[in-house]
Amino acid sequence: MNSHFWRTGAAVAALMVFGAGHAAAETVLKLNNWLPPTHTQLTGIIKPWMAEVEKATEGRVKVELTDASLGAPPRQYDLAVDGIADVTVGVLGYTPGRFKLAGAAELPFVGETAEELSVALWRTHEKFFAAANEYKDVELLGIYANATGHVMTTAKAGPVTSLENYAGKKFRVGGGLVQEINTALGGVNVAAPANEVYEILSQGVADGTLLPYEAVPSFNLSGVIKHATSVPGGFYSSAWFFVMNKDKFDSLPEADRKAIKEVSGEALARLAGQAQDKTEKDARAGMEKAGVTFANADDNFVQGLREKLSTIEAKWVEEAGKLGVDGKAALEYMREQVKAVSQK
């Protein structure tokens, strides 16, 4: 009899374990991963958010990464629109002209740290941008920004300390607003994927690159970057999106939709900002050990930058107006929020 009860109990326990595992996996969201395994976006933002979703939904919803990318980086938004992936993360600037309003975080002299820019961008989105409905084809879970970019150059190019020695230099730049900034300052754009930056710098195809410090360890640039110039108040940034297929989101129970929203939005912006700022700090420390020289743009350089780049801000304000957004008011609010986050 004892043997019978043991076997029966074991069978029931097995069914319970199976049932619990099955229930926990009833809703599995596929997040398309196109990033290297050690990239901060993956290790410091995406994976922690995945864990937060599972925790917030008490295990009812799990997020899993794809084994391989289902599309190139510029295709991430459309992968979510079409339901090829449930959740995608990408750079808004990879599709120039498609998403205009988040560019507020990319403008010069808006903010320096990723946390300031990211939290302020989300708050500004909610107050000013959401009504424009730029993300109508998906469920927007979050938008956030990188820390400010810097002017980083090779030993041969030398440090950049003025508009005069910026002009004419060739810089590898990513997509979006940074291309306009570089040309407005007299720089020459060199278009290349981020994983080719080392090669084009080491071969002299470009004199430098415009990126945050964290790009140096991420793309193994420590052997070619020798000088870095920072712009007080922020040079430029890049905005990222976190989106989900709309039908998939709507199919979730209300409690799970609410739980996912609670760990997204501003919570995600803060998570993303803090993770990137830590990486930025660690990267600078590593660059210092490698002998990179650092400088801050002086007052004359900053004044020249403001004059040269003023038209870029004016252009953004104009574009925002076409979408029914008071661009001047939005930028004023965003700068206030940057200040509020930095003081806190």
Predicted pLDDT of residue 96: 83
Q: Is 264 helix (H, G, I), strand (E, B) or coil?
A: coil
Q: Which architecture characterizes domain 150-236+289-343 according to CATH?
A: 3-Layer(aba) Sandwich (3.40)
Residue 88 backbone dihedrals phi, psi, to 5 degrees: -135, 155
Report whether 240 contacts 143 (CB < 8 A).
yes
Q: What's the per-residue H, E or C state across 38-89? A: CCHHHHHHHHHHHHHHHHHCCCCEEEEECCCCCCCHHHHHHHHHCCCCCEEE
Q: Delimit the domains of the chain by residue range.
A: 11-105+114-146+239-279, 150-236+289-343
Q: How far is CA 11 from the centre of its chain?
A: 49
Homologous superfamily of domain range 11-105+114-146+239-279: Bacterial extracellular solute-binding protein, family 7 (3.40.190.170)
C-alpha span between 6 and 25 (Å, rounded):
28
Predicted pLDDT of residue 176: 76
Dihedral sign (CA 196, 201, 204, 208): positive
For the chain, residues with pLDDT lower than 50 are 1-23
Predicted pLDDT of residue 25: 54
C-alpha span between 240 and 103 (Å, rounded):
10
Predicted pLDDT of residue 46: 98
Q: Do 11-105+114-146+239-279 and 150-236+289-343 come out as alike in CATH topology? A: yes
Predicted pLDDT of residue 326: 98
Pairing of strands 27-31, 61-65: parallel
Q: For residue range 224-244, list pLDDT tens digits in order.
A: 999 999 999 999 999 999 999
Predicted pLDDT of residue 220: 87
